[in-house]
Structure 1
Amino acid sequence: MTGTVRKPASIVDPKVAEALHQGRHGDPFSVLGRHGGTVRVLDPGAERMFAVIDGTEYELGRVAGGMAVFAGEVPESGHYWLRGYAGTETWEYEDAYRFGPVMGELDEYLLGEGTHQRIWTVLGAHVLEHEGQWGTQFAVWAPNAERVSVVGGFNHWDGRRHAMRPRGATGVWEIFVPNVTDGEVYKYEILGAGGQLQPLKSDPVGFGSQHAPQNSSIVRDISGYGWKDDDWMAERGGRNGRTAPISVYEVHLGSWKRVAAEGNRPLSYKEAAEELVDYVHDMGFTHIELLPISEYPFDGSWGYQPVGLFAPTIRFGPPHEFRDLIDAAHRKGLGILLDWVPGHFPADPHGLGQFDGTALYEHADPREGFHQDWNTLIYNYGRTEVKNFLTSNAIYWLEEYHIDGLRVDAVASMLYRDYSRKEGEWVPNKFGGRENLEAIDFLKGANMAAYGAADGIMTVAEESTSFPQVSRPVDDGGLGFGFKWNMGWMNDTLRYMEKDPIYRKHDHHLMTFGLHYAFSENFILPISHDEVVHGKGSMLNKMPGGEDEKFANLRAYYSFMWGHPGKKLLFMGCEFAQPSEWNHNSQLSWGVMDNPKHAGIQRLVRDLNTLYRAEPALHALDCEPSGFQWIEANDADASVYAWIRRSGGTDPEVVVACNFTPVERPYKLGMPQAGRWREAFCSDAEIYGGQGRGNMGGVDAKAGERNGQPAEADVYLPPLSTVIFVKE
């Protein structure tokens, strides 16, 4: 049954219809859809268009001036849908413009104020039921745009078909598109200020993305995951604190292990949930730290140039499968840390740069908004909405994915306006100084928000300068991080180890200097991916000497590191002395495990982790000066170091002694107590690839002052070795 066509020209002003047809109208909801007894529709593919109500067709006439616009009078009540005709083709669909807004008044207020700390709950693409119809709500922030549309295969990538509703002063645009579901590909088409059409943009708050080099966003329903990690979540605060044993295995998921039989592809999240988690658990590490997972376009950036901050990269699977990895780790008692990159973002056309035709997320002035080192853009931390975007992203990973901590990349580049810049290439702060006050304020706020949103988590700063109180609470004048990477310790000690042992006595201080500031921050000792790339070689090949000496040096160094105050971090492959520099395009050199020397290094790291976790003296006061005391720090000629570790309680004390020369050394060593000291570890043990020289299970300390200690013992320090004694 067909109704009549009624005065379409009088229903829509021809100039308005023309603007709709040309995609220049900034508020299509004010025109399209049902308004009283009128329905107006834009459908560029239709020759004839009908509104259907209770089985009756009401033909909508084509409007003058708007070749794609149809309008007509219909009953004021009753659910309508649309039916279009073109030649012999017929199609039916729900009209997106008949639906009211999804976003509530409180969300609108908080977004406008820039204080909505969970923006992902309202922005992005959400599969939901709205006004009795299933579909997807799209919402995006583009305050300077003249028109924003969502485009995809569902509307032939035609920006006229789903132009969005502006939400007043918020700068947010939204639309509910019926029958668009999980898996749909989409982008935003933005008419910027002045009417300039921008490159199609991926969703800044999108939950999924296509495989690179394609870069559209994908609708992902991230609701309804069945977590099984309640026990871990309830107790993780005790696993992430300053007194806990924290030993981190840093992983680039794309190159840890690959499947040769299937085109050398990397493991999926689900495969890593078994193989990686089991391996790390077996190795005795407490945490896995993943190089950035947020979607990124360029493999060679390793994830450090992300575009989709809210999307786990599709390289290894969809979002729920990433949750499978985290859930499996938690059920094995392992924490998951993510490398998080709020310091910069790439200038790819589909990304955040010039998002609505203006410098929206970045600074307009390249002296503030462009990283010369990485050819990337810098966030404008002084803009409330940008700070809110980044802070929400931190909370998103903690809440939606049960992430246990965020390691913030390149913090030094954020703290200083003159970072890697010459005079005249940077803009001083309002006081004329070099500190980036806005970035400092952002970091403080993000840390407070993260710790306030999720119990028991940690945040970690990769900060390479002497900026004060990075890992101190904000209310105590700090930046609010839980931990800081000790880059100075790493650089000094590796410089020492790279030297021929005959010359080490001239640089003895490199191994002791770190103790002058070891407790000024809550430090993690990092041997990260940065130490085995860009021509730096592998850890094994940093070591001097022939093959046997290289392995002995590395065993002694790792043992020195595990005995030293500070939490531990080791990049994948270093635990079995991968012989070559890390290559992100291929898997680790697992084949070398047939060599007993490499297998020995792996067992050494496993046993060091076991000892570190078992002995509170080795971890409980990692961040407190009372947990450490030198026995011997000045024997440069012998290249010997020895110290005491304490827990502050009744747990046994531990003594660590190192000999960094290829000469065996019978040594009289001061001990904190008389009695039997068990040799709990020796890096020269045969099971680690050494010669099996040591102290026959332990030493007996007798009363007698030495090295400022009340007892002394005759110990044997094998060449290029570290030994660890525990008081019985």
Structure 2
Amino acid sequence: MSKAAASSVSPCLPVALGELDIFLFGQGKHWDLYRLLGAHPYDGPDGPGYRFAVWAPNARAVSVISDANGWTPGAQALHPVAASGIWAGCIPGFEKGWLYKFSVIQLDGAVVEKADPFAFCTEMRPGVAARAWDLDSYAWNDGAWMKQRRARGLPLTDPVAIYEVHAGSWRWKTADYGSFYSYRDLAETLVPYVRDLGFTHIEFMPLAEHPLDESWGYQVGHYFSPTSRFGTPEDLRYLIDVCHQNGIGVILDWVPAHFPKDAWSLGRFDGTGLFEHEDPRQGEHPDWGTYVFNFERHEVKNFLLANALYWFKEFHLDGLRIDAVASMLYLDYSRREGQWIPNKYGGKENIAAIEMLRELNVVVHEHFPGAAMIAEESTSWAGVSRPVYTGGLGFTFKWNMGWMNDTLSYFAKDPIYRGYHQNQLTFSMLYAFHENFILPLSHDEVTHGKGALISKMPGDQWQQMANLRLFLAYMWAHPGKKLLFMGCEFGQWKEWNSREPLDWALMDFPNHQGAAELVRALNALHKAYPAMHDRDNDWTGFEWVDLSDYAASVITFLRKAPDGSPVLWAFNFTPIVRENYAVGCRIPGFWREIFNSDAALFGGGNIGNGGGVMARPAAYGDWPEYLSLTLPPLAAVALTPEG
């Protein structure tokens, strides 16, 4: 049917919504809410078309405006569904791909155009209209992966190594801004690249539709629509499917903490604070200029929980990384006195947000066994990754921001001063097992004037490259899962700019090739030795050998597998070669050198231990044996006993 013909057809009678649907929505527990609200294919007595439903309880009237009816308010009116706050109706002849919005006559009589909160597909920015779409046009081929994920359960003992990607700036087709790789292009290029380097997961910065490129996706306009910058929803499904077929999990950044104030978006949807609090002391983030979701309202909580479940169910995601969790937990987050309202007990904790996060994690883990929920939480809130039944928030993992800040601060120091700051390396082990941690080196650390990872390193170019290799080795050796932002794996010199692709020309230079080889070797080591990952969250998987040699800026420790088999790590944080350096051990025989960040393959000087050393049968401190090692400059070595 032509758009002109469709525009002449009035909406049919309201689509019947079951009492159970309405009840569950009112309770905040309709997990398939996105199949109830929004626009969906519909075949009624007047022929096929689309049915529409939107929640706007305080609106005077709602109608569908589209390119099919000339964007005329009131031409195709929706009808109120009793006792639900929902307006609904169907339009015969409406076809997939047609653009539409809702015209809302708000409580005060103002007429506004609003985007569908449940849109599954949208037009390319700067347009904000939704496209009529469907959910069931893709045939998945990742059944083996999904079955294995369910059987395996949470990846707490897996060798998780995550490659963080901003899809709009990983690579471009040409030098012109906007020549992005599509989802399908990324399936052909990014997936084999990540697989070759040995990463287990890709974490994408937000892919939900957002109008402003510079927001990187953290100011979401359409929570249910993958951004059209890179293709259709089916194209994103294809990318995730290809990842799974290549043994790579997919994590997506998710932003339930706030949303933008754009007039066409969720804010003041029906003329009232519907998705947000009316009071700016509760409903706005002063720093970000955004609204805060009203977590106390059941329907709003349902919107967020159903959205999280939507990404898992309809896109087969393996995890969500929840942004800005601290801003949700604290009512006084980034607010001065008088800018916030205490909770009912007089405290600063956001009780409704805490309850929402706990329910979110329980529901996700119940519906999708093996899926990971990851918190970017920057405070010392206790129990972020502990089960809800123990009083925790129920996340699978928490980003270890303390480790990241302390380690980067240490590495930025000239080696001559590092001995005075060794506690910045050792302090993290006082709390390393309080949570299930991910060690993040994310986009936040290589932009906004912070410089690239390698540019944080002191010294000449040789020392900077050596320090980069040492930093990465220390990160992989330290307990905790790993996350590395794109470009850091080959030592990009420029800080990340979302309006430029990575500087891939550097991969023509041996030193940068060597850095990538080092990451490949670390990921292989990480997978091959259970000591390196199986007890990431347990003290029994770690043991200090010596943390006291601050004069030489050397630390040594063991990572231990469940059967006790160890990997010994020794780190020399100075540019001085340490020969005949004694390191205690308790296992006699030959210790094979399984890793050396100074290897020529990685761009180093190839100083090491000739493949390994024999333990010497003489007590060294509290250790019954010791190894006499050569520690390369600004380097890490790892050894394990033969047999």
Instruction: Please tell me the TM-score bracket, short chain as reference.
Output: over 0.9
Question: Is 1:528 aligned to residue 424 of structure 2?
Answer: no
Name the structure 2 match of 1:382.
296
1:264–1:106: structure 2 CA closer, same or farther, 3 Å change rule?
Answer: closer
1:296-319 deviation per Cα after TM superposition (whole angstroms, max 9, x unaligned)? 111001000001000000000010
Q: Match for 2:418: what amino acid?
A: R
Question: Is 1:693 aligned to residue 607 of structure 2?
Answer: yes
Q: C-alpha separation between the residues in 1 aligned to 2:205 and 2:301? A: 23
SS at 2:377's partner residue? coil
* Contact 1:245–1:620, Cα closer than 8 Å, also in 2: yes
Residue of structure 1 aligned with 2:122, choices 209, 233, 255: 209
1:458–1:92: structure 2 CA closer, same or farther, 3 Å change rule?
Answer: closer
Name the structure 1 match of 2:521.
607
After TM superposition, list the pairs within 5 Å mapping 1:571-610 onto structure 2. Answer: 571-610=485-524
SS at 2:63's partner residue? strand
Question: Is 1:657 aligned to residue 570 of structure 2?
Answer: yes
| Number of matched pairs | 638
Name the structure 1 match of 2:62.
148
State the Cα distance separating 1:371 from its structure 2 match.
Answer: 0.8
1:257-303 deviation per Cα after TM superposition (whole angstroms, max 9, x unaligned)? 00017765110001101101110000100000000011111100100
Q: Match for 1:487: what amino acid?
A: M
Q: C-alpha separation between the residues in 2 aligned to 1:584 and 1:279? A: 20
SS at 2:428's partner residue? helix
Name the structure 2 match of 1:220.
133
Question: Is 1:401 aligned to residue 315 of structure 2?
Answer: yes
Q: C-alpha separation between the residues in 2 aligned to 1:665 and 1:414? A: 49
After TM superposition, list the pairs within 5 Å mapping 1:465-614 onto structure 2. Answer: 465-614=379-528
Name the structure 2 match of 1:684.
598
* Contact 2:74–2:103, Cα closer than 8 Å, also in 1: no
Name the structure 2 match of 1:137.
51
State the Cα distance separating 1:172 from its structure 2 match.
Answer: 0.8
Name the structure 2 match of 1:11.
none
Deviates more, 1:698-707 or 1:427-436: 698-707
Q: C-alpha separation between the residues in 2 aligned to 1:525 and 1:613? A: 17
Residue of structure 1 aligned with 2:367, choices 453, 456, 460: 453
1:189–1:92: structure 2 CA closer, same or farther, 3 Å change rule?
Answer: closer
State the Cα distance separating 1:130 from its structure 2 match.
Answer: 2.7
Q: Which runs of 5+ in 2 are unaligned?
A: none
Name the structure 1 match of 2:636.
722
SS at 1:193's partner residue? coil
Q: C-alpha separation between the residues in 1 aligned to 2:358 and 2:502? A: 37
Q: Match for 2:409: what amino acid?
A: R
* Contact 1:239–1:245, Cα closer than 8 Å, also in 2: no
After TM superposition, list the pairs within 5 Å mapping 1:297-446 onto structure 2. Answer: 297-446=211-360
Q: C-alpha separation between the residues in 2 aligned to 1:343 and 1:602? A: 35
Q: C-alpha separation between the residues in 2 aligned to 1:479 and 1:548? A: 45
1:102–1:282: structure 2 CA closer, same or farther, 3 Å change rule?
Answer: farther
Q: Match for 1:227: what amino acid?
A: W
SS at 1:256's partner residue? coil
1:91–1:245: structure 2 CA closer, same or farther, 3 Å change rule?
Answer: closer
1:207–1:107: structure 2 CA closer, same or farther, 3 Å change rule?
Answer: same
1:384–1:239: structure 2 CA closer, same or farther, 3 Å change rule?
Answer: closer
Q: C-alpha separation between the residues in 2 aligned to 1:475 and 1:683? A: 43
After TM superposition, list the pairs within 5 Å mapping 1:57-76 onto structure 2. Answer: none
1:92–1:466: structure 2 CA closer, same or farther, 3 Å change rule?
Answer: closer
Q: Match for 1:598: what amino acid?
A: H
* Contact 1:669–1:707, Cα closer than 8 Å, also in 2: no
* Contact 1:338–1:405, Cα closer than 8 Å, also in 2: yes
Q: C-alpha separation between the residues in 2 aligned to 1:281 and 1:439? A: 37
* Contact 1:108–1:167, Cα closer than 8 Å, also in 2: no
Q: C-alpha separation between the residues in 2 aligned to 1:709 and 1:97? A: 82
Q: C-alpha separation between the residues in 2 aligned to 1:182 and 1:414? A: 37
SS at 1:716's partner residue? strand
Q: Match for 1:221: what amino acid?
A: D
Name the structure 1 match of 2:83.
169
Name the structure 2 match of 1:127.
41
1:707–1:325: structure 2 CA closer, same or farther, 3 Å change rule?
Answer: farther
1:64-99 deviation per Cα after TM superposition (whole angstroms, max 9, x unaligned)? xxxxxxxxxxxxxxxxx9xxxxxxxx9687844444
* Contact 1:239–1:246, Cα closer than 8 Å, also in 2: no
Q: Match for 1:336: what amino acid?
A: V
Question: Is 1:274 aligned to residue 188 of structure 2?
Answer: yes
SS at 2:624's partner residue? strand
Q: C-alpha separation between the residues in 2 aligned to 1:593 and 1:169? A: 62
TM-score (norm 1): 0.86
Name the structure 2 match of 1:113.
27
Question: Is 1:713 aligned to residue 613 of structure 2?
Answer: no
Q: C-alpha separation between the residues in 2 aligned to 1:655 and 1:559? A: 13
Q: Which has the higher contact order (CA 8 A, sep 6+)?
A: 2
- Over the matched positions of the two proteins, sequence identity in percent amounts to 48
SS at 2:111's partner residue? coil
* Contact 1:96–1:175, Cα closer than 8 Å, also in 2: no
* Contact 1:631–1:708, Cα closer than 8 Å, also in 2: no
* Contact 1:616–1:647, Cα closer than 8 Å, also in 2: yes
Structure with greater Cα Rg: 1
SS at 2:373's partner residue? strand
State the Cα distance separating 1:108 from its structure 2 match.
Answer: 2.5
State the Cα distance separating 1:132 from its structure 2 match.
Answer: 6.3
Higher strand share: 1
Q: C-alpha separation between the residues in 2 aligned to 1:469 and 1:96? A: 55
Q: C-alpha separation between the residues in 1 aligned to 2:442 and 2:266? A: 29
Q: Match for 1:622: what amino acid?
A: D
Structure 1: which 4+ aligned runs deviate by more than 6 Å?
none
Question: Is 1:632 aligned to residue 576 of structure 2?
Answer: no
Deviates more, 1:238-247 or 1:632-641: 238-247
* Contact 1:102–1:137, Cα closer than 8 Å, also in 2: no
Q: Which runs of 5+ in 1 are unaligned?
A: 1-80, 82-89
* Contact 1:240–1:246, Cα closer than 8 Å, also in 2: no
State the Cα distance separating 1:133 from its structure 2 match.
Answer: 1.9
Q: C-alpha separation between the residues in 2 aligned to 1:338 and 1:98? A: 38
Question: Is 1:236 aligned to residue 149 of structure 2?
Answer: yes
State the Cα distance separating 1:709 from its structure 2 match.
Answer: 2.7
Q: C-alpha separation between the residues in 1 aligned to 2:268 and 2:563? A: 57
Q: C-alpha separation between the residues in 2 aligned to 1:547 and 1:408? A: 37
State the Cα distance separating 1:672 from its structure 2 match.
Answer: 3.3
* Contact 1:102–1:176, Cα closer than 8 Å, also in 2: no
Q: C-alpha separation between the residues in 2 aligned to 1:91 and 1:299? A: 37
Name the structure 2 match of 1:62.
none
Q: Match for 1:215: what amino acid?
A: V
1:701–1:349: structure 2 CA closer, same or farther, 3 Å change rule?
Answer: same
Q: C-alpha separation between the residues in 2 aligned to 1:623 and 1:575? A: 25
Q: C-alpha separation between the residues in 2 aligned to 1:341 and 1:265? A: 26
1:97–1:182: structure 2 CA closer, same or farther, 3 Å change rule?
Answer: closer
Q: Match for 2:122: what amino acid?
A: S
1:262–1:547: structure 2 CA closer, same or farther, 3 Å change rule?
Answer: closer
